[in-house]
Amino acid sequence: MKKHLAVLFITLLLAVSCKKGQSLNTPPATAVTNTVKYAGGLQIYRYTGYSIIKVTQPWPGADKKYTYIIQKKDAEIPDSLKQYTTIQLPLKNIIVTSTTHIPSLEMLGVEPTLKGFPGTDYVSSEKTRKLIDTGHITEVGANESLNTEVIIDLDPDVIVAFAVDGSNKSLAALERSGLKVLYNGDWTEQSPLGKAEWIKFFGVLYGMEDKADSIFSGIESEYLTAKKLAENTTTKPTVLAGAIYQDQWYLPQGNSWGALFIKDAGGHYLWDDTQGTGSLNLSFETVLDKAQNADFWIGPGQFTSFSEMEENNPHYNQFKAFKSRNVYSYSIKKGATGGLLYYELAPNRPDLVLKDLIHILHPELLPNWKNRFFDQLN
């Protein structure tokens, strides 16, 4: 009887030990808190020795989500996570595919690891342009038709990609070749701070989480302080946006990134009551009827001068904002090879965008501010 009890006791001990051993190969029962506050398509969970990045909205309307494991040197990861793409730190070289990724690399001080980029002429940053001009960064085609042979020869540790619908054949071919592709959905965010928070994606990717957190906290603080300043205004100037393209006037919907900026800057965007985060396409007559007397016109497409606008459509001069020269564009500030600074840096620095707009709409609030993105048309 004692012998049977002893065998049973040992069996129970082995079972408990086995369960304890299994717990080492599975994530902790209590999930670590997601460290992302604003970005709706990004989640980051940090564990001892590794982090988990979840990209839940890689492109608009996506029904597919991605999980990436970022493993620190010599760290163990649970067996249950080995099914996911795993990146070993430290990274030695990287390819990114959107100009919005470049400011994050520069703010973290890791831009020398960038070895390839599609469409290098679109890059505006002087720092990264020097790396391009000296041959440190290689041209790798276009996002929808990447030069797979060149990329395979570069042999990057990681390719950070963006996708419009998840059907990029070049990326699929690169993955089949054994290269690791990580999707970045920063461009799908509509909250200004949500876009900027994607620096944390790169912070984890480089094992520089604390630095990325600190950078974002500074941006967040500056944005919220400026927003609070604009909230104290008693007037809200009316704002028109967009321009005509192929007989239709395209302008931001009421829940879009651009519309939210105008609201936070203390302006009244005339289409702020529309639903959606994309674009409205309206007739000229519809826009004229509603915005003929708008105080400001912000973001008139790619136009950079009044003469250019009038040449394109002489009816633009029927708007009060045009007549009073209160038209401001982000298309004037360009890099050495024609890339627009706004498209590259603005998503990463919404605090600068907001201060620009406050300075335009309420110059008395920031009298010494010099605009970084928006210029009054000549």
pLDDT tens for each residue of 23-39? 334 444 345 789 999 99
Picking from 173, 207, 241, the residue at the C-terminal end of a domain is 207
Is the pLDDT reported for residue 2 higher than 90? no
**E runs forming strands in 97-146:** 114-117, 138-139, 141-142, 145-146
Task: For 320-347, write each residue's pLDDT tens digit.
Answer: 999 999 999 999 999 999 999 999 999 9
Q: Whole domain around residue 274: which residue ranges?
A: 233-376
For 159, the token pair is 């390719």
- Average pLDDT score over residue span 149-168: 94
Report the pLDDT value the prediction gives residue 8, as an integer from 0 to 100.
35
Query: Which helix or strand (DSSP H or E) is residue 17 part of?
Result: helix 2-23
What is the arithmetic mean of pLDDT over 308-329? 96
How far apart are the C-alpha atoms of 215 and 200, rounded to whole Å?
9
For the cut 90, the answer to whether the pLDDT of residue 19 exceeds it is: no
What are the counts of helices (DSSP H) followed by strands (DSSP E) for the chain?
A: 14, 19
Q: What pLDDT is attached to residue 143?
A: 80
Instruction: Grade residue 98 by pLDDT with cuts at 50, 70 and 90.
Output: very high
Write down the mean pLDDT value for the chain.
Answer: 91
Give the closest residue to 251 by CA, choosing from 293, 223, 290, 308.
290
The answer to whether residue 1 scores a pLDDT higher than 70 is: no
The predicted-structure confidence for 235-258, as pLDDT tens digits, reads as follows: 999 999 999 999 999 999 999 999
The DSSP 8-state label assigned to residue 235 in this structure reads -
Residue 107 within a domain: yes
| Mean pLDDT to the nearest integer, 158-173 | 92
Asked if 50 and 198 sit in the same domain, the reply is: yes
The residues near 89 (Cβ < 8 Å, ≥ 6 apart) are: 70, 71, 72, 73, 206, 207
The predicted structure's pLDDT at residue 33? 85
Of 141, 172, 207, which marks where a domain is finished? 207
Kindly state whether residue 19 falls inside one of the protein's structural domains: no
Is 27 within a domain? no
Name the least confident of 143-147, 209-213, 300-304: 143-147
Position 194, amino acid:
G
Into how many domains does the chain fold? 2
Residues in CB range of 375: below 8 A, 6 or more apart: 328, 329, 330, 332, 333
pLDDT value of residue 109:
98
pLDDT at 25: 43
**Residue 71 pLDDT > 80:** yes
Strands 114-117 vs 138-139: parallel, antiparallel or unpaired: parallel
Q: What is the CATH number of the domain that holds 333?
A: 3.40.50.1980
Q: Are residues 247 and 193 in the same domain?
A: no
Contact 315, 323 (CB under 8 A): no
Flag whether pLDDT at 4 surpasses 50: no
SS3 298: strand
The percent of residues above 70 in pLDDT, for the chain, comes to 92
Domain membership flag for residue 152: yes
For residue 159, the SS3 value is strand
Task: Copy the structure tokens of residue 83.
Answer: 């099914």
Q: Are the C-beta atoms of 332 and 304 separated by less than 8 Å?
A: yes
Are both 187 and 288 inside the same structural domain? no
Q: Are residues 137 and 244 in the same domain?
A: no
Alpha carbon distance 229, 118 (integer Å): 40
- Domain-located, residue 78: yes
Residue 222 covered by a domain: no
Q: Specify the pLDDT at position 183.
A: 97
| Same domain? 47 vs 194 | yes
Same domain, 242 and 196: no
**Domain shared by 131 and 260, yes or no:** no
Q: Identify the CA nearest to 242 among candidates 196, 286, 273, 189.
A: 286
What mean pLDDT comes out for the span 150-166?
Answer: 94
Q: Average pLDDT, stretch 295-305? A: 96
199 and 278 share a domain?
no
pLDDT digits over 175-190, tens only?
999 999 999 999 999 8
Give yes or no: residues 202 and 323 share one domain: no
Answer yes or no: do 194 and 266 share one domain.
Answer: no
Domain shared by 258 and 131, yes or no: no
On whether the CB atoms of residues 81 and 69 are closer than 8 A, the answer is yes
Q: What mean pLDDT is predicted for residues 254-282?
A: 95
Domain assignment present for 88:
yes
Q: Which two tokens stand for residue 161?
A: 């990609």
Determine the residue type at 147: N
pTM across the whole model: 0.90
Cβ proximity of 296 and 346 under 8 Å? no
Does 25 fall in a domain?
no
State CA 93 to chain mean position distance.
Answer: 21
Query: For the chain, how many residues are written?
Result: 378
Integer Cα distance of 69 and 51 in angstroms: 6
Residue 204: what pLDDT?
Answer: 97
Of 171, 192, 207, the residue that ends a domain is 207
